[in-house]
Structure 1
């Protein structure tokens, strides 16, 4: 007899596989709906995860506190509604910042809404949300946590049987919210693993969350290489410096690093040769919502209409149909913010009104408008140039390259400190975050032509967008500069190549654009989070579902995206025959490239955000279709 069959009485069973933030959001919205419309029969919600329920693997509360969040506390909430004076419960609970104000640790309770919390503290918040949801579930609803990994899902007489290591659960509806995958080795990954196995002095750490990497085994002074200069790179730096007892101190207005003597010698590189740029100091209230002027629903409808007429397909070409609109939006904010600083609000409003009209109807006259308002000498917003600043440059030595790199990063930190509303550059680039909803509506579910999706959006724009708008807090960039100046960190250069060196038994990093840049390292760390790739996912459950044709990879024409195929909301899984399964849903990272930017692990306070709306779509469909609530809920 299965575990769920041991529970007496009739009713409906819903299983959520994966209880990180996405699974937690589905649970929260189910409980909201079951509170608003009481169930007609008993409801059991099974939450299944081998790790902490609420935090999952990536946000576990046991990780070191030198790993920081990348979103300010005031913009983070797992409750889909704000506190209303009553006890916290589904639909009404505190944001991360509000929860922190009551934290017993005074260092944490003092964090403001524009500060960044340690990652394990967010994990504590997530587990507290889960515990609160379980404790306050409405009458007739039971939430049953199972600490296990689901290894199979099979049909069982019109229901679904979920198998774990030691039990089985039968459910009417199943939600897959499995989060970041662990992928099987392939390509260079496999080559580096085999090299490390054959050379006892070499170690290779595969890409993952830095908290999951075995960094403790790295010896003081050991030469270490890091592939990638993104967010995981910053986490690895923190673990190998601050986490080893080093200190960052301000001396003469400049951040300096005082080594502990336990640090390794770190060499890092990437295609761009540039560490991810800093976010602007946050100046936006949690409830802030930007109103786009160019990237609007009307503009998207017009673009699809034109594409249909001219190309015979409503699918868009990203570079032709969408990128120019994004560029206009970014430039609009850039000019307005500069003008506000120079001449005040009245001039800004007058310019904004005229720029909206001229940029749409007579783009060639924009230059005259800039001259009229004294903006003609502003450096242009060149997102590609910012993300790839060293293209075509050759440096005579690592020192020459580092001088150039430090000057660029110091300037970036200065821009970030001006803020994401008062600083023209960071205010403009922050619009790329504020308009993600528009981009999702434009590109999700095959909204782009296959080759444009693959090459223009994912290959060209996505890395640039990530570099200039989704970076770390400015303090992390300042710390990287301090480590460069202290000689603890070396950035190898742009177009970094990583190879094995059998003669030395080590890995070699080299940039063809920097003379003398070659570095031999005994430990190599892949500082890149693996991209979702359904056929490479090592999870037994994914492999079984794919082999049995229960799930399938989403294809946009001839472009195999790597994402798990789902319908538009409520995100029903599409099987190997192309049919949606009415009882199986998927949300979050496994569906990346079918949808875009699914790695966001939280909602925002205020009006229902996309994060919570996605969860609510699943909750509404699962509960309505299972006939556990009144027909009014299904409507």
Structure 2
């Protein structure tokens, strides 16, 4: 609590621009720190939010449609620092810092509403997350206001500019109210969009829409305002450009959100019952023609610390060694940096990890141990001279080859057992002379993956009679539609990212393509339901692209990649990452499948689809040579996530800050090639902007999308028990004006920040 002498201290003036989820986390840390502080801090905090949705922000508004899902399971969402956060400082009592799971359980006890009756692995609706954020925001504000010397003011207003006034910045708002002068400004503006007239992808569509009956919607959110019945109601065809999470939100809002219902038929299949308020047709399309893949059931929730993957090959030490051996010297932010080529130097290691994980799940831990040993010589050679290979295809094949050879040899023996060509599995024990693990254990592991533990045990009970065993295996069916021969389980990056391949001559008809696509969706949903530890392909994607994302961040951040490689990474590999491990829930993908089968959602244009402006009809034309389908749309919604660009942003604050020279865009300088300018701000590791003159402005801090470019993957909800980077980033800001107290109450110490 505050001491007497602190009451008269001049307050520190803080302005927080953006009252959404990250602001909630900020207030939690401030609340815990000021309440538990021996030397009280006098703070005057003004929080601005245009929507007035303090806590959830507009994206997670509790008042939004109930059809949108949060892109994270309940058990992976928190609102406060916990014991895992290094140097967090005082923690609030557990009753004041519930996780989303605990908040939902409490809400269910209070209301009895089954909406809140969830377990850790469930996928919540986004508005539920918003309700919890609003509640926790209110709790933290009340804690702060109860501390003597602390004031908190909430202002529903749009911040349009920051004006330097001596040692402070004046916060200017669109309503013309007197400017608040802040010692420190924290910018938490969250997701935004770009002005269509400044976006070369959107400008022609916007101009066409202005002159013709066709209606262009440059940004999908908020759905309730952008997708009005006047333009997307009955009698219309709506084209949805983008098949990621935003695109799925659009499909569900225009159908279920309008009053349609999903029901199970007698066979348990989900079917869609229209209500009549939907568009006649929703044409979903994208460059890849693929939705994000279904996110697997999260088996790791039972013990995250033990079960999240830590690979032997894709490591920060490997990245450092590659910088030493093949890194290209450059100067980034005035300091020397050895840059890598993501595709040539990092991606082959991801392939190696994926192959190792996939076969390790399929054949068991002993195969994995043998494969790690077998791959080590090639791995060391790659680290020593990754540039010795013609391209990433050759490098990836070289690294994966030892694992493939081991898997191929074991698959032959497993198939011999399954076909009754060798003695029963129970008699095949011990490691073979060629380094293969015990075949009996590989058979057991394979059968468990393909058929499930219960059916595997039933099959193995016949192992004493090879012929009876082979007959039982041949008659069995995999509930996840796995291939039943081990030889057919081959790791393939191309099949992984292109599971609906295009025949050389294209598809005979749009209907054939849709049938093929639905077949893939069925298999993908089944695989996702098996889980991220039990399904080989889902385990490989989840571990290599999600659990090990910190290594990729280490490779990318602050000019870690060559300019051209950085462009390729964001344009090619980030979409792969999003599709492989940032997908929608099984429940959402079942609904998408039902919408396609109902004919309400049309995916028949397929991959490579392009949108054109049909002057004669005054409509948007969507077509692709792959299927031959052509569709005309009355409305077109751009459901792609806009990358942050300070010059093009619809919010005036960023163009104004650029104009004043308070910020500048970050540039990855090319070495013998053009520079790359992603669009985000030039920031220090402490998230302070570098001004136009090259000096650092320590009074302003940017967290979230504006940091994308110089840093990677800075957006995301807070996770419990994770020492989450968002909390560490927030502490970095707080300790600039409120230094951390030592445990003994003596000298303060600076916060050590781990940028991973």
| TM-score, normalised via structure 1 length | 0.91
- Alpha-carbon distance in 2 for matches of 1:501, 1:90: 60
SS at structure 2 position matched to 1:229: coil
How do residues 201-600 of structure 1 correspond to structure 2 at under 5 angstroms? 201-211=213-223, 212-217=225-230, 218-251=232-265, 252-264=267-279, 265-285=281-301, 288-289=304-305, 290=308, 291-308=310-327, 314-340=338-364, 347-348=366-367, 350-351=369-370, 354=373, 357=376, 360-361=379-380, 363=399, 364-374=401-411, 377-382=488-493, 385-387=496-498, 389-390=500-501, 393=504, 394-431=506-543, 432-455=545-568, 457-491=569-603, 492-515=605-628, 517-557=629-669, 558-568=675-685, 570-600=686-716
Partner of 1:133: 140
SS at structure 2 position matched to 1:136: helix
- Alpha-carbon distance in 1 for matches of 2:495, 2:37: 51
SS at structure 2 position matched to 1:624: coil
Structure 2 residue 207 is the aligned partner of structure 1 residue 191: no
Partner of 1:613: 728
- 1:175-232 CA-to-partner distances (Å, cap 9, x unmatched) read 1111112321132422222222222x32111123253523333221311111111111
The Cα shift of 1:349 comes to 5.9
Distance 1:29 1:43, change over 3 A: same
Alignment check: 8 A CA contact 1:334 1:428 kept: yes
Distance 1:69 1:504, change over 3 A: same
Alignment check: 8 A CA contact 1:383 1:464 kept: no
Partner of 2:105: 101
The Cα shift of 1:611 comes to 2.2
- Alpha-carbon distance in 1 for matches of 2:21, 2:34: 20
List alignment gaps of at least 5 residues for structure 2. Answer: 1-6, 85-89, 331-335, 382-398, 412-485, 670-674, 752-756
- Alpha-carbon distance in 2 for matches of 1:23, 1:441: 26
Worse-superposed segment, 537-546 or 366-375:
366-375
The Cα shift of 1:309 comes to 7.8
List alignment gaps of at least 5 residues for structure 1. Answer: 1-6
The Cα shift of 1:617 comes to 1.8
- 1:509-562 CA-to-partner distances (Å, cap 9, x unmatched) read 1011112x1111111111112111111012121121111111110000111110
- Alpha-carbon distance in 2 for matches of 1:433, 1:92: 30
SS at structure 1 position matched to 2:666: strand
Structure 2 residue 134 is the aligned partner of structure 1 residue 121: no
- 1:313-361 CA-to-partner distances (Å, cap 9, x unmatched) read 5111101211111122222221111113xxxx5x356446535646635
- Alpha-carbon distance in 2 for matches of 1:609, 1:17: 22
Worse-superposed segment, 135-144 or 412-421:
135-144
Partner of 2:157: 148
- Alpha-carbon distance in 2 for matches of 1:181, 1:90: 34
Distance 1:216 1:122, change over 3 A: farther
- Alpha-carbon distance in 2 for matches of 1:391, 1:533: 35
The Cα shift of 1:407 comes to 1.1
- Alpha-carbon distance in 2 for matches of 1:489, 1:437: 37
Structure 2 residue 16 is the aligned partner of structure 1 residue 16: yes
- 1:105-142 CA-to-partner distances (Å, cap 9, x unmatched) read 52133111111111111111111111111111244333
Alignment check: 8 A CA contact 1:555 1:561 kept: yes
The Cα shift of 1:461 comes to 0.8
Between 1 and 2, higher relative CO (CA 8 Å, sep ≥ 6) is seen in 1
SS at structure 1 position matched to 2:679: strand
SS at structure 1 position matched to 2:489: coil
The Cα shift of 1:381 comes to 3.6
Distance 1:184 1:349, change over 3 A: closer
SS at structure 1 position matched to 2:50: coil
The Cα shift of 1:23 comes to 2.6
The Cα shift of 1:453 comes to 0.4
- 1:343-380 CA-to-partner distances (Å, cap 9, x unmatched) read xx5x3564465356466358453333224433654221
- Alpha-carbon distance in 1 for matches of 2:736, 2:620: 52
Distance 1:41 1:267, change over 3 A: closer
| TM-score, normalised via structure 2 length | 0.77
SS at structure 2 position matched to 1:461: helix
Worse-superposed segment, 21-30 or 487-496:
21-30
Aligned residues: 615
Alignment check: 8 A CA contact 1:28 1:91 kept: no
Alignment check: 8 A CA contact 1:287 1:605 kept: no
Distance 1:161 1:422, change over 3 A: same
- Alpha-carbon distance in 2 for matches of 1:353, 1:31: 48
The Cα shift of 1:386 comes to 2.1
